[in-house]
């Protein structure tokens, strides 16, 4: 006869969002420093000196293995991150049909990130095309997902202020992206000098949004419960 008892194990999930935000951010800075130490890129502050692209930091030497060894797991973690964001918003009572797209946007974005990572360091037009498509899809779809998440959070009275803040962060991200496009159209040569810096700034803004979500997961006590009866 089985005992009529229930044993619950509660696991906080904010650490998963924290990892989803920090792993890509820490990786690109680690690979930059390793590539600079090994002489593959110049020493600088890439956010405004635009001395190297993010891709170039992970193409050679030890950085090649660090980039692939961390960004591929980060892509897998990102898929779970966006799926959990849908569950989190529904638990908070968020409205709007747009949030239902979060897992799918996250899935395609993270698959694009994985494709970009696998193609990095390989020569040939086909690999260059994969990298370009991968990075564009990753940033674009991640941004759309962040916009939908922020709007969904804004619909929850208790968390509407945080939703507003996140929407403002999305506006900054959009402004940087549009400024880069406009600058490329009206002053292509000048834009080429700072194109890599725009990429670094956009990566920072995207991961800052994810870091903010991790903080909100912790504040809302978002967790998973494992039950044995």
Digit-coded pLDDT (tens) for 37-48: 999 999 999 998
Q: Which two tokens stand for residue 114?
A: 């994985």
DSSP label at 12? E
Q: CA triplet 23, 48, 176: central angle to 5 degrees? A: 75
Mean pLDDT confidence for 91-95: 88
Q: DSSP characters for 16-78?
A: HHHHHHHHHHHHHHHHHHHHHHTTSS--S-HHHH--S-HHHHTSSHHHHHHHHHHHHHHHHHH
116 domain-assigned: yes
4 domain-assigned: no
32 domain-assigned: yes
Q: CA triplet 140, 143, 149: central angle to 5 degrees? A: 145
**Which residue is listed with tokens 């890439």?**
46
Q: Is the pLDDT of residue 91 over 80?
A: yes
Q: DSSP characters for 152-189?
A: HHHTSGGGHHHHHHHHHHHHHHHHHHHHHHHHHHH-HH
Q: Which two tokens stand for residue 210?
A: 């994810």
CA 11 to chain centre: 23
CA distances from 138 to 116, 134, 222 (A): 9, 6, 26
| Dist CA 127 CA 142 (whole Å) | 22
Q: Is the pLDDT of residue 95 over 80?
A: no
Sign of the CA dihedral with 38 first, then 41, 46, and 48 last: positive
| Dist CA 33 CA 51 (whole Å) | 13
7 domain-assigned: no
What residue numbers bound the domain in which 195 lies?
Answer: 12-228
Q: Is the pLDDT of residue 86 over 70?
A: yes
| Dist CA 229 CA 221 (whole Å) | 24
CA 13 to chain centre: 17
6 domain-assigned: no
223 domain-assigned: yes
Q: Helix, strand or coil for residue 1? A: coil
114 domain-assigned: yes
Torsion of CA 216, 219, 222, 227, to 10 degrees: 160
The reported pTM is: 0.90
- Residue 6 pLDDT class (50, 70, 90 cuts): low
The CATH number for 124's domain is 1.20.1070
Q: How many domains does the chain have?
A: 1
- Residue 9 pLDDT class (50, 70, 90 cuts): confident
């Amino acid at each position: 006869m089985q005992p009529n008892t229930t044993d619950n194990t509660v696991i906080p999930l904010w650490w998963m969002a924290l990892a989803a935000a920090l792993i890509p951010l820490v990786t690109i800075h680690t690979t930059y420093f390793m590539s600079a130490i090994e002489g593959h890129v110049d020493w600088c502050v890439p956010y405004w000196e635009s001395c190297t692209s993010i891709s170039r930091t992970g193409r050679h030497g030890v950085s090649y293995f660090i980039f692939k060894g961390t960004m591929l797991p980060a892509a897998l973690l990102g898929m779970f991150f966006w799926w959990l964001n849908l569950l989190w918003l529904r638990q908070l009572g968020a409205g709007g049909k747009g949030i239902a797209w979060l897992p799918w946007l996250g899935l395609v974005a993270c698959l694009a990130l994985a494709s970009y990572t696998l193609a990095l360091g390989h020569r040939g037009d086909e690999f260059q095309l994969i990298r370009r498509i991968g990075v564009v899809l990753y940033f674009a779809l991640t941004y759309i997902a962040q916009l939908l998440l922020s709007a969904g959070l804004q619909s929850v009275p208790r968390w509407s202020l945080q939703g507003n803040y996140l929407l403002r962060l999305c506006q900054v991200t959009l402004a940087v992206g549009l400024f880069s496009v406009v600058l490329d159209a009206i002053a292509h040569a000048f834009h080429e000098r700072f194109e890599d810096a725009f990429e670094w700034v956009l990566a920072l803004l995207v991961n800052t949004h994810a870091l903010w979500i991790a903080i909100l997961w912790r504040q809302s006590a978002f967790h998973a419960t494992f039950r044995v009866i």
